[in-house]
Amino acid sequence: MPGRRISRLMTDPAPAALAASPDPSLTHGGSRGALTLGALGVVFGDIGTSPLYALQATLDPRYHLSTTITDLYGIVSLIFWGFVFVVTVKYVFIVMRCDNKGEGGSLALYALIHRQLGEKAPKRWLLIGALFATALFFADAMLTPAISVISAVEGLGVVSSAFKPWIVWIALAILIGLFAIQRRGTEKVGRLFGPVMLIYFATIAAMGISHIVQAPEVLFALNPLWAVSYFTAHPLFAFLSLGAIVYAFTGTEALYADMGHFGRVPITLAWLGICLPALMLNYMGQAAMLLQHPEFIDNPFFHMAPTNLTIPLLVIATFATIIASQAVISGAFSVTQQAIQLGFLPRLRILHTSSHARGQIYVPAINWALAVMVAVLVISFQASAAMLPAYGLAVVGTMLITTLMQYVVVFRIWRSPRWQAVIGFITFVTIDAVLLASGFAKLFEGAWFPILVGLVIFTLLTTWSTGRRLMREGLLADSLPLAVFIQSTAASVHRVRGTAVFLSASPEVLPAALLHNLKHNQVLHERVVLLTVQVEDVPQVNPARRASFHAEGHGFYRAILHYGFMEDPDIPRDLAEACTGTDLTFEPLHTSYFLSRQKLIASCAIPGMALWRERLFAWMLKVSESAMDFFKLPTNRVVELGSQLRI
């Protein structure tokens, strides 16, 4: 009987039922201490290595600053209060509460708002903001390895000037090796991340203390009045230097983006208990040293260590920058997976490097694209100081977009008291806007790079999303409703043994592959399953709600498989599990999968995208991974039927 539900299987799951485990700190294996140590290694590698270059960059001669008490105390004061407001209050206490079932990041935040508000969500600017933040993240993923590693290797110049001509090539060799080992996965190496970063933070804290005890008055720099005096002394140069002070906050977005791996509490403990104290001790130690030794302004971080300990410090710092680079590369893989599942990137080959850790993935195309861009950056800019203007703008741009999206949650979903929300919104938007304006002042010094990369990647994301929508609309316009086909044709067609699974963009209409198969072969299988894969606005779907089936009569079944945006579809496995104990038999050796493969023809005749974007979409469609591989279909049971389509 048409519309009959198959026993033991549910109808389309309600959104509330699609949730997975909410707090990794409660559900991951290991104690809270182990998770805190793991967060220390993965989440804080980027912001933890900022002392290598942040204060040095702020004292660049272009800002006309010097190693006076006013300037040094003012800079340290701004860094401290930036840690308080931007990192602690905004990210740790507010943004990290805007989680999507435990997951963070701009795409996860977009999915959360879309799910909670539905049609009332501010769709256009929210989508643009989420996609541009994602695009800036990829720019950050190019800049972080380049800047972090070369800034550590530059410590060789402190050891001996003979190393200076080789710094770029040594950094390049380290980076190429880092990208080359990505295919092996980071599970085993990742176990060392936390302990290594703990040693690193202990080292930089000890370095800071050793200089603070020689000039304890530097502790007064935490007084915000020093920041006021700093701006009063030279307002213009103080404003311009904000674009360099923001380097101290690089990696802040990782607190939110990597929240799903460790949970909010372990990340909070790692920040407040280890990272924040160690970073501030080191920055104050650098200021105290420069007051006594202004000649060390060329590289204050490495000059903090005694001469006989410079090489051990160099080794520890290099390992820390490699960890920071590894974390952002892994993050790029995770963001790519989210974008693919949410329909903003074409299917790409994704390899799992661990048999039990879901997040351990490797995306070859992204890995080598990042490797090429990082190599180009290192060779082109030659020094960390030259790349920093680009770095700062990418970071602040992402922070501003996160602020705007976060306050959609605060105002519309949490419904916080209006006066509190307005004060917070004005405060954080003002901070981000001022930092962004200062960064734009360096537009022609390298800040153009993240803007260019962001626009290119944003164009790719929006072109793929719009092209998929237009293609889906074109296919649906020419499709036949399932109920009409069953009533008019299904009963009179010759049937053969076995099960045929046809992938369909919509569960209500016939897929093109079925019509092509019927036209050319003039047969239907005994059992025909019209399968639609739906990606929900949650990270993981409860396995008990994975599948929904409806028997439509005459051997036809309508099926929907639900996945979260952090999950990998495996159609044969999930169909077999879903059919267990039901009246629909699923035998892998007697099941064939039929796929539609469209050849897209760009055309000006049909309203849609600009012709160049249609051609770009056609190229992206051509190079995307086949549905057979992406959905893990058995190669010897797949039939692909092609057609041409104009959009």
Q: How confident is the model at residue 5 (pLDDT cuts 50, 70, 90)?
A: very low
Residue 159 within a domain: yes
Q: pLDDT tens-digit profile of 619-640?
A: 888 888 888 888 888 888 888 8
pLDDT at 323: 83
**In a 3-state reduction of DSSP, which class is residue 291?**
helix
Give the residue from 456, 334, 451 showing the smallest Cα distance to 397.
Answer: 451
Residue 524 within a domain: yes
- Whether the CB-CB separation of 551 and 1 falls below 8 Å is answered with yes
pLDDT at 589: 77
- The pTM score is 0.81
Query: Among all chains, which residue has been given the structure tokens 């710092």?
Result: 317
Within this chain, do residues 132 and 216 fall inside the same structural domain, yes or no? yes
Q: pLDDT tens-digit profile of 164-189?
A: 888 889 989 998 988 888 877 655 55
Within this chain, do residues 44 and 144 fall inside the same structural domain, yes or no? yes
Residue 459: is its pLDDT beyond 80?
yes
- Vertex 478, ends 477 and 483: CA angle to 5°? 95
- Whether the CB-CB separation of 145 and 174 falls below 8 Å is answered with no
Higher pLDDT, 117 or 30: 117
pLDDT at 604: 64
Give the residue from 566, 503, 548 showing the smallest Cα distance to 13.
Answer: 548
Query: Among all chains, which residue has been given the structure tokens 């892998």?
Result: 588
Higher pLDDT, 488 or 16: 488
Within this chain, do residues 92 and 236 fall inside the same structural domain, yes or no? yes
pLDDT at 86: 92
Strands 638-646 and 591-601: parallel
Higher pLDDT, 82 or 575: 82
Of 408, 428, 446, which marks where a domain is finished? 446
Within this chain, do residues 172 and 91 fall inside the same structural domain, yes or no? yes
Does an H or E element contain 427, and which?
A: helix 418-440
pLDDT at 15: 37
- Whether the CB-CB separation of 545 and 10 falls below 8 Å is answered with yes
CA 617/CA 620 separation, integer angstroms: 5
**Taking the CA of residue 7 as centre, how many other CA atoms within 13 Å lie in the half-sphere pointing to its CB?**
6
Within this chain, do residues 139 and 112 fall inside the same structural domain, yes or no? yes
Q: How confident is the model at residue 457 (pLDDT cuts 50, 70, 90)?
A: very high
Strands 556-563 and 523-535: parallel
- Of the candidate ranges 146-150, 581-585, 609-613, the one whose mean pLDDT is the lowest: 581-585
Residue 460 within a domain: no
* Domain count across the chain: 2
The count of other CB atoms within 10 Å of the CB of residue 613 is 17
Within this chain, do residues 393 and 506 fall inside the same structural domain, yes or no? no
pLDDT at 10: 36
Residue 31: is its pLDDT beyond 80?
no
CB-count burial class (<10 Å; 0-12, 13-18, 19+) for 198: middle
How much is the mean pLDDT over the chain? 82
Q: How confident is the model at residue 358 (pLDDT cuts 50, 70, 90)?
A: low
Residue 33: is its pLDDT beyond 90?
no
CA 79/CA 188 separation, integer angstroms: 35
Identify the top-confidence range among 16-30, 352-366, 450-464, 480-494.
Answer: 450-464
Residue 333 Ramachandran class (φ > 0 left, ψ -120 to 50 alpha, else beta): alpha
Of 446, 461, 492, which marks where a domain is finished? 446
Within this chain, do residues 535 and 619 fall inside the same structural domain, yes or no? yes
Residue 26 within a domain: no
pLDDT at 14: 36
Q: How far is CA 260 from the centre of its chain?
A: 11
Q: pLDDT tens-digit profile of 268-314?
A: 999 999 999 999 999 999 999 999 999 888 889 989 988 888 889 88
Residue 24 within a domain: no
CA 324/CA 472 separation, integer angstroms: 41
Q: How confident is the model at residue 581 (pLDDT cuts 50, 70, 90)?
A: low
Residue 23 within a domain: no
pLDDT at 646: 66
Residue 200: is its pLDDT beyond 90?
yes
pLDDT at 544: 81
CA 71/CA 361 separation, integer angstroms: 45
Q: DSSP letters of 251-287?
A: TTHHHHHTHHHH-HHHHHHHIIIIIHHHHHHHHHHHH
Per-residue pLDDT averaged across 353-375, rounded? 79
pLDDT at 283: 95
* Residue 592 backbone dihedrals phi, psi, to 5 degrees: -115, 145
What's the domain range around 589? Answer: 4-15+472-646
Residue 329 within a domain: yes
- Whether the CB-CB separation of 217 and 211 falls below 8 Å is answered with no
pLDDT at 551: 82
Q: pLDDT tens-digit profile of 235-257?
A: 998 898 888 898 898 888 878 87
Within this chain, do residues 390 and 517 fall inside the same structural domain, yes or no? no
Within this chain, do residues 293 and 394 fall inside the same structural domain, yes or no? yes
CA 351/CA 363 separation, integer angstroms: 6
- Of the candidate ranges 323-337, 390-404, 571-585, the one whose mean pLDDT is the lowest: 571-585
Per-residue pLDDT averaged across 336-347, rounded? 87
Within this chain, do residues 211 and 121 fall inside the same structural domain, yes or no? yes
The count of other CB atoms within 10 Å of the CB of residue 15 is 13
Q: How confident is the model at residue 582 (pLDDT cuts 50, 70, 90)?
A: low
CA 598/CA 473 separation, integer angstroms: 13
Query: Among all chains, which residue has been given the structure tokens 């190079």?
Result: 623
Per-residue pLDDT averaged across 217-225, rounded? 94
Per-residue burial over 273-303, b if 16 or more Cβ lie within 10 Å, else e, is ebbbebbbbbbbbbbbbbbeeeebbebbbbb
Per-residue pLDDT averaged across 350-362, rounded? 67
Within this chain, do residues 275 and 235 fall inside the same structural domain, yes or no? yes
pLDDT at 387: 81
Higher pLDDT, 9 or 630: 630
Q: pLDDT tens-digit profile of 54-87?
A: 898 888 887 788 889 999 999 999 999 999 999 9
Tokens at 415, concatenated: 């419904």
Q: pLDDT tens-digit profile of 499-538?
A: 889 888 777 778 888 888 888 888 888 888 888 888 887 8
Q: DSSP letters of 90-102?
A: IIITTGGGS-BTT
Within this chain, do residues 521 and 623 fall inside the same structural domain, yes or no? yes
pLDDT at 24: 44
Give the dihedral of Cα atoms 261, 264, 266, 270; nearest 10 deg. Answer: 110
Residue 199 within a domain: yes
The CATH number for 310's domain is: 1.20.1740.10
Rg (CA), the chain: 28
